[in-house]
Amino acid sequence: MVRINSIQRGIVIDHIKAGVGLKIFNYLGLDKAEFTVALIMNAPSGKLGRKDIIKIENEIDIDFTVLGFIDPNITIDIINGEKIESKIKLRLPENVENVIKCINPRCITSTEQEILHSFYLANREKGEYRCMYCDEINNPNNIS
């Protein structure tokens, strides 16, 4: 059994839906990190059955809105001195910008490159977001 040591100072991204950890790992660019990072995939979980976990031994700036968009069940633990200093429970954000691209080829964002890709939460239960310009439905699977 592989043992992952606790971290002195950093961030633990916990309760990631199994299989989504790699997507978050890549989105955050952690494959290029020059500090210790652990990606634990398919770990047993009492709540989820299986989950992914990312441990980051460093203080980095993370957009929690994007993480909440990718997986609203994520918990962020801020670690200091090997102890949890604070815990943040994420949820689906009301709005996201430049995280996903509109899939409607007739949308103005498809032809005008300078326009922000803006979406609003249309249905929290289904995780559906709609484009601010053309009202096309998008979801976290279309992340860019």
Two tokens, residue 78: 């801020």
Residue 60's pLDDT is what?
A: 85
Q: Report yes or no: 101 and 144 within 8 Å, Cβ to Cβ.
A: yes
Q: Report yes or no: 40 and 81 within 8 Å, Cβ to Cβ.
A: no
Residue 6's pLDDT is what?
A: 78
Residues 19-34 have a mean pLDDT of 91
Domains of the chain, each with CATH number or no CATH: 9-89 (3.30.70.140), 95-142 (2.30.30.20)
pLDDT digits (tens, 9 = 90+) for 32-66: 989 989 999 999 888 879 999 999 998 888 888 88
Residue 3's pLDDT is what?
A: 56
**Res 1 pLDDT > 60:** no
Residue 139's pLDDT is what?
A: 67
The rounded Cα 90 to chain-centroid distance in angstroms is 9
Q: Report yes or no: 11 and 56 within 8 Å, Cβ to Cβ.
A: yes
Q: How far apart are CA 93 and CA 69, in angstroms?
A: 6
CA-based Rg of the chain, rounded to a whole angstrom? 17
pLDDT digits (tens, 9 = 90+) for 84-136: 999 999 999 999 998 888 989 999 998 888 899 999 999 988 889 999 999 99
Q: Report yes or no: 12 and 55 within 8 Å, Cβ to Cβ.
A: yes
The rounded Cα 100 to chain-centroid distance in angstroms is 12
User: Which of 101, 49, 107, 97 lies closest to 73 in space, CA to CA?
Assistant: 49
